[in-house]
């Protein structure tokens, strides 16, 4: 995608995510069926670059952005929070990358989407089953990345909030499939989390969870991080 298109794809979280989520249901089904067929070819064609040169051994990278995390079927009504996030991990070699740390801060509920939690309280979010392993792939003209977790586990997140000023409740959601789009931006690599397919949540049940937002991956050493098809070199 052209950088201008990438900017348009960076969703305004305050405007909601219903239409994006509907579109993603079909995309997730198609991607899941096609992933086995394209992953081998994609892994050999795509790679991470540092200052325009292929990364041959993994390099440390950082990430930052804003994400909306939601459970659309939570008991007590839909819950949806927006958090700022920072990440640490590695890019390379070739099409591989890894997320080793993911922290959320300054979380708040979207209006009237606090479920049974106190609307005035500050919810918290944390990543589940780190580290997350990822692989660049190409699908229908878009560059995407897959996410998995070691030991047969699945990437996900945990939300916690306060109820009645007395105790906390938690909700864990794991992504059944996650193929965010990856684009090159001036400052680094944009990972467009336009939904996780439908995540399974401990509160709302199967297909209740979704994530939405943008993460910018950068090299902390000042070099420009990017991705490229080796065939285009």
What tens digit of pLDDT does each residue of 67-80 get?
999 999 999 999 99
> What is the dihedral angle through the alpha carbons of 98, 232, 7, 111, rounded to the nearest 10 degrees?
-30
Predicted local confidence at residue 194, as pLDDT: 66
Measured between alpha carbons, how far is 102 from 132 in angstroms, rounded to an integer?
A: 10
Mean pLDDT in residue range 143-161: 93
Tokens of residue 14, six digits: 């305050």
pTM of the model as a whole: 0.81
Q: What is the 3-state secondary structure (H, E, C) of 180-227?
A: CEEEEECCEEEEEECCCCCEEECCCEEEEEEEEEEEEEECCCCCCEEE
34-64 pLDDT tens trace: 444 444 444 457 999 999 999 999 999 999 9
Show the DSSP H helices in the chain as ranges.
3-9, 18-45
Predicted local confidence at residue 179, as pLDDT: 85
Q: Is the pLDDT reported for residue 11 higher than 80?
A: no
Predicted local confidence at residue 131, as pLDDT: 97
Mean pLDDT in residue range 174-184: 87
Measured between alpha carbons, how far is 114 from 117 in angstroms, rounded to an integer?
A: 5
- Hey, how many other C-beta atoms are within 10 angstroms of the C-beta on 11? 20
Q: Where are the domains of the chain?
A: 16-227
For all residues of the chain together, what is the average pLDDT?
Answer: 82
């Amino acid at each position: 995608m052209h950088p201008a298109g990438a900017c348009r794809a960076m969703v305004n979280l305050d405007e909601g995510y219903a239409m994006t989520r509907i579109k993603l249901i079909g995309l997730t089904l198609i991607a899941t069926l096609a992933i086995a067929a394209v992953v081998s070819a994609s892994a050999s064609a795509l790679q991470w670059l540092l200052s325009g040169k292929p990364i041959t051994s993994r390099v440390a990278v950082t990430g930052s952005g804003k994400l909306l995390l939601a459970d659309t079927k939570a008991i007590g009504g839909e819950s949806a929070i927006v958090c700022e996030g920072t990440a640490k991990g590695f890019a390379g070699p070739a099409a591989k990358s890894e997320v080793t740390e993911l922290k959320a801060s300054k979380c708040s509920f979207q209006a009237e989407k606090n479920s049974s939690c106190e609307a005035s309280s500050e919810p918290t979010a944390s990543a589940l089953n780190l580290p997350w392993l990822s692989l660049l792939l190409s699908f229908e003209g878009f560059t995407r990345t897959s996410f998995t977790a070691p030991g047969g586990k699945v990437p996900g997140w945990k939300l916690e909030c306060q109820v009645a000023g007395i105790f906390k409740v938690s909700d864990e959601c794991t992504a059944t499939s996650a193929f965010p789009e990856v684009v090159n931006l001036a400052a680094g690599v944009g990972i467009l989390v336009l939904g996780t397919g439908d995540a399974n949540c401990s509160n709302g049940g199967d297909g209740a969870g979704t994530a939405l937002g943008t993460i910018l991956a950068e090299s902390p050493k000042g070099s420009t991080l990017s991705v490229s098809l080796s065939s285009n070199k």
